[in-house]
Structure 1
Amino acid sequence: MYKLSLTLLAIILAFKCISADIPTRLLNNGQKIPIVGLGAGHVTEESVRSALEVGYRHIDTSLNYGDSEIIIGKVLKEVLKDGKIKRQDLYIVSKLETEYHTRSRVPEGIKKSLQRLDLDYLDLYLIHSPDSQPANITVGETWLGMIDVLKANLTRSIGVSNFNQKQLDEVIAKGVVPVTNQVICNPYVNERKLLAYADSHNVTLTAYSPVGGRAYPDLLKDPKLIEIGNKYKVSSAQVALRFEIQRGVIAIPNSQNPKYIKENIDVFGFKLTDEDIKAIEALNKKDS
């Protein structure tokens, strides 16, 4: 039977909503993050507007996602000016890229993203990938730069992306624990061990490609996910997303299709059973 730690279960039961009945996860610094967000690797003005209209408030982007930050910034400027959405209702995430990994250049990286987004601060800033770390710079040094921008109030939270346990240990040793580790995570690569490790350190896990993405393009055709979806009259994508949510994992599916954008956030009207969870866990294709 699938079991949650008492701490994680308490967090899930304590979910509160920011907008459109989207639950939030409580982060280790007391901030809250909507548990479902829009992965904005590829966006258009129309897709960002569509997401905001159906209730998304959490948007995840990066400096190297083409013009994503610029597009998001343009739409946010419009909706904030209209007054229908307030800045405090939004949760905007961006990432530090390789050329800014020296401690002294981290502020430069985040300020460039803020300029493109036309914002005064981010809600969360992540080191995008330790694998692209310059040979002469440790992730620990980069993390000190992240702490600098946190103290400068350029972001309300800091975290990492694509980090393994050893790399997480290195940044945790610097005295500020990342609020999240964003990794590829879905029923085919469920990151069970990394999730347990993160939970033990009060670090959330954020799943990119939670419905497969380019790495697992056939995930949504999986017979078991379809079977479970038919039982609840939902899609296989909604089953995959619900699987993450019930494990306390934050999910940021990416879509430009208004139908799927809406579908991806409509995952709170059903609940997977322990048997469902066990069956989905059995789909794992990675020793994780």
Structure 2
Amino acid sequence: MTTIPQVTLNDGNAIPQLGFGVYKIPEDQTPEAVLAALEAGYRHIDTAAFYGNERGVGEGIRRSGLDRGDVFVTSKVWWTENGYDSTLRSFDASLERLGFDTIDLFLIHWPAPRSDKYVETWRALERVHEEGRARSIGVANFHTHHLERLARETATVPVVNQVELHPWLPQAGVRRYDAAHGIATEAWSPLARGRILQDPTLERVASKHGVTPAQVVIRWELQLGVIVIPKSTTPERIRQNIDVFGFELDGDDLDAIAALETGERTGKDPDDLG
């Protein structure tokens, strides 16, 4: 069984550096996908209210026979529920759907700055953390100016900032800010929704190491110190995506991957939502 490195968060809790994402996995397929991931050795599952599959995540974990404490689970409040009271309701609903007493990590899914509710949303997350119902709290899709506002107006530093991150969009500025402030950076869409995997540079590096382009990208992100949550519903790919600890990218590899940066996003710019 692969031993996945743990990242210690700024609140003292630890998160597995490699996790399993369930975005766009239908509810009825989620238990089997989660079960396959847990059987492959993952111990970190990332879901969200918006994904519509929290019940399936909870079911998959229970079916695995693993102790609840052995699986790190993240969920998120969707931006249309931003606001103090609505966030508390969303958190309660996520707990109910998962069938848990606590959530390991709860995130603001998007700042949605046009609606200007992310600060009060963060205060709601501070409350559920103080109550012990969320062991850790963080954010997703926050630019540095969103993080700076939280720092000015609230008392708690997020443990995680989950952002779109892949070779086209390595988020160097966000990673520097996060590191300087004790915030772990986490990558969603780490494979650019699969679109980057046909890149000749990645194919060349993969051939050099006898691995797949997806394994190269996941390994690159791990070597950056980023938490990574690839997603697949194919058992073979689920297993491949965790089998990334038997090789290491060298300086030439890292330089070649760095040259792929274009700034292209597969999702929205956080300033354009809400």
Q: Which residue of 2 aligns with 1:149?
A: 128
Give the alignment partner of residue 36 of structure 2, picking from 5, 28, 50.
50
Q: How do 1:29-40 and structure 2 match up within 5 A? A: 29-40=11-22
Give the alignment partner of residue 167 of structure 2, picking from 167, 187, 205.
187
Q: Which residue of 1 aligns with 2:95?
A: 114
Contact 1:77–1:118 (8 Å) recurs in 2 = no
Please state how far the C-alpha of 1:141 moved relative to its aligned partner. 1.4
Please state how far the C-alpha of 1:104 moved relative to its aligned partner. 2.2
CA gap 1:270/1:182 in 2 versus in 1, 3 angstroms = same
Task: Find the aligned partners of 1:57 and 1:164 in 2 and give their Cα distance.
Answer: 28
Q: Which residue of 2 aligns with 1:5?
A: none
CA deviations on 1:21-43 (whole Å, 9 max, x unpaired) are: 01111111111111111111133
Please state how far the C-alpha of 1:274 moved relative to its aligned partner. 1.8
TM-score normalised according to structure 2 size: 0.91
| Number of aligned residue pairs | 260
Give the alignment partner of residue 10 of structure 2, picking from 12, 19, 28.
28
Contact 1:106–1:149 (8 Å) recurs in 2 = no
Task: Find the aligned partners of 1:107 and 1:252 in 2 and give their Cα distance.
Answer: 26
Contact 1:92–1:122 (8 Å) recurs in 2 = yes
User: Is the aligned partner of 1:139 residue 2:125?
Assistant: no
Give the alignment partner of residue 187 of structure 2, picking from 207, 220, 231.
207
Task: Find the aligned partners of 2:236 and 2:136 in 1 and give their Cα distance.
Answer: 31
User: Is the aligned partner of 1:77 residue 2:56?
Assistant: no
Give the alignment partner of residue 178 of structure 2, picking from 167, 173, 198.
198
Please state how far the C-alpha of 1:134 moved relative to its aligned partner. 6.4
CA deviations on 1:112-140 (whole Å, 9 max, x unpaired) are: 01111111101000000012x563x4321
Give the alignment partner of residue 233 of structure 1, picking from 206, 210, 221.
210
Task: Find the aligned partners of 1:263 and 1:172 in 2 and give their Cα distance.
Answer: 39
CA deviations on 1:35-60 (whole Å, 9 max, x unpaired) are: 11111113322211110101111000
Contact 1:210–1:241 (8 Å) recurs in 2 = yes
Please state how far the C-alpha of 1:98 moved relative to its aligned partner. 2.7
Task: Find the aligned partners of 1:20 and 1:274 in 2 and give their Cα distance.
Answer: 25
CA deviations on 1:247-279 (whole Å, 9 max, x unpaired) are: 100010111000110011111111111221111
Contact 1:98–1:134 (8 Å) recurs in 2 = no
CA deviations on 1:60-80 (whole Å, 9 max, x unpaired) are: 0011112x111111122223x
Contact 1:101–1:134 (8 Å) recurs in 2 = no
Please state how far the C-alpha of 1:172 moved relative to its aligned partner. 2.4
Task: Find the aligned partners of 1:73 and 1:88 in 2 and give their Cα distance.
Answer: 13
For residue 32 of structure 1, what is the amino acid of its counterpart? A
Task: Find the aligned partners of 2:196 and 2:63 in 1 and give their Cα distance.
Answer: 36
- Listed as ranges, the gaps of 5+ residues in structure 1 are 1-18
Contact 1:110–1:154 (8 Å) recurs in 2 = no
Give the alignment partner of residue 264 of structure 1, picking from 235, 241, 246.
241
For residue 164 of structure 1, what is the amino acid of its counterpart? H
User: Is the aligned partner of 1:124 residue 2:110?
Assistant: no
User: What's the C-alpha RMSD, in Å, of the aligned pairs?
Assistant: 1.6
Task: Find the aligned partners of 2:129 and 2:123 in 1 and give their Cα distance.
Answer: 10
Task: Find the aligned partners of 1:269 and 1:172 in 2 and give their Cα distance.
Answer: 39
Q: Which residue of 1 aligns with 2:223?
A: 246
- Listed as ranges, the gaps of 5+ residues in structure 2 are 266-274
User: Is the aligned partner of 1:286 residue 2:267?
Assistant: no
